[in-house]
A and B are shown apart, each in its own frame.
Chain A
Amino acid sequence: MVNTLVELKSIRKTFGNVVAVDSVNLSIARGEFVVLLGPSGSGKTTILSMLGGFVTPSSGEVLIEGADVTQVPPALRPTVTVFQDYALFPHMSVASNVSFGLSMRKVPKDVRGRRTEQALRLVGLEGLGDRAIDQLSGGQRQRVALARAIAVEPSVLLLDEPLGALDLSLRRQMQEELVRIQKQLGTTFVHVTHDQDEAMSIADTIVVLNHGKIEDNGPPDRIYLKPASLFTATFMGESNILEGTIAATHNGHMQVSTKLGDIEVEGERPAGDTVRLSIRPEQIKLGTTEDNDSIALGDVEITEAVFQGAHRRCRGLAGTNRDTELLLRIPVENSIQPGDTVEINVQPNDIVLLQD
Chain B
Amino acid sequence: MSWLRQVPSACYMTLAFVFIYLPVVVLVLFSFQDGLLPVPPFQGPSLQWYERMFDNRRLMEALLNSIVVATLSSAVATLLGFLAAHTLARKHIRFAGGARYLLMAPITVSYLIIGMGLLVTFNLLGVSRSLFVVGIGHVIINLPLCFAIIFSQMGDHQKNIERTAHDLGATDLQTLVLITAPIMRPTLFAAFCIAATLSWDEFIIAFLLSRFDVTLPVTIFEMLRAGLTPEVNAAGTVVFAISITMVSIAILLSTRRKNNNG
Seen from chain A, the residues whose Cβ lies within 8 Å of a Cβ on chain B are 52-54, 73-75, 79-81, 83, 85, 87-91, 100-101, 104-105, 134, 148, 152
A104 touches B174 (CB 8 A): yes
- Name the interface residues of B152-171: CB closer than 8 Å to any CB of A: 157, 160-161, 163-171
Given A89-B161, A90-B183, A91-B183: A152 and B168 interface contact (C-beta under 8 Å): yes
Q: Assess whether B97 is interfacial by the CB under 8 Å rule.
A: no
Residue of B nearest to A90 (CB): B183
- Partner of A87 from the list B161, B174, B260 (CB cut-off 8 Å) is B161
Given A52-B167, A104-B169, A104-B170: A91 and B182 interface contact (C-beta under 8 Å): yes
**Interface core residue of B167, B174, B179 (most chain A CB under 10 Å):** B167
A75 touches B170 (CB 8 A): yes
Query: Which 7 A-B pairs have CB atoms at the shortest separation, nearest pair first?
Result: A104-B169, A101-B168, A87-B160, A74-B167, A87-B164, A83-B160, A87-B161
A75 touches B167 (CB 8 A): yes
Total residues of chain B contacting the partner, CB 8 A:
18
Contacts of A89 in B (CB 8 A): 161, 165, 179, 183
Contacts of B161 in A (CB 8 A): 87-90
Contacts of A105 in B (CB 8 A): 169
CA distance A88 to B163 in the complex (A): 11
Q: How distant is B200 from chain A, measured CB to nearest CB, in Å?
A: 30
CA distance A100 to B157 in the complex (A): 20
B179 touches A74 (CB 8 A): no
CA distance A53 to B169 in the complex (A): 12
Contacts of A152 in B (CB 8 A): 168-169
CA distance A73 to B163 in the complex (A): 11
26 A-B pairs in the complex with CB atoms less than 8 angstroms apart: A52-B167, A53-B167, A73-B166, A74-B167, A75-B167, A75-B170, A80-B167, A83-B164, A85-B157, A85-B160, A87-B161, A88-B161, A89-B161, A90-B161, A91-B182, A91-B183, A100-B168, A101-B168, A104-B168, A104-B169, A104-B170, A134-B260, A148-B164, A148-B168, A152-B168, A152-B169
Q: How distant is A51 from chain B, measured CB to nearest CB, in Å?
A: 12
> 13 more A-B contacts (CB under 8 A) besides A75-B166, A152-B168?
A73-B166, A74-B163, A75-B170, A80-B167, A80-B168, A81-B164, A81-B167, A87-B164, A89-B165, A91-B183, A100-B165, A104-B169, A104-B174
Seen from chain B, the residues whose Cβ lies within 8 Å of a Cβ on chain A are 157, 160-161, 163-171, 174, 179, 182-183, 185, 260
A83 touches B163 (CB 8 A): yes
Q: How distant is B175 from chain A, measured CB to nearest CB, in Å?
A: 10
Contacts of B182 in A (CB 8 A): 91
CA distance A55 to B163 in the complex (A): 12
**Interface core residue of A73, A75, A91 (most chain B CB under 10 Å):** A75
Contacts of A75 in B (CB 8 A): 166-171
Contacts of B167 in A (CB 8 A): 52-53, 74-75, 79-81
Q: How distant is A53 from chain B, measured CB to nearest CB, in Å?
A: 8
CA distance A75 to B185 in the complex (A): 25
Residue of B nearest to A151 (CB): B168
Given A89-B179, A90-B183, A91-B183: A101 and B169 interface contact (C-beta under 8 Å): yes
CA distance A53 to B260 in the complex (A): 33
Contacts of B163 in A (CB 8 A): 54, 74, 81, 83, 87
CA distance A50 to B185 in the complex (A): 33
Contacts of A54 in B (CB 8 A): 163
Q: How distant is B83 from chain A, measured CB to nearest CB, in Å?
A: 20
CA distance A134 to B257 in the complex (A): 13
Q: How distant is B63 from chain A, measured CB to nearest CB, in Å?
A: 35
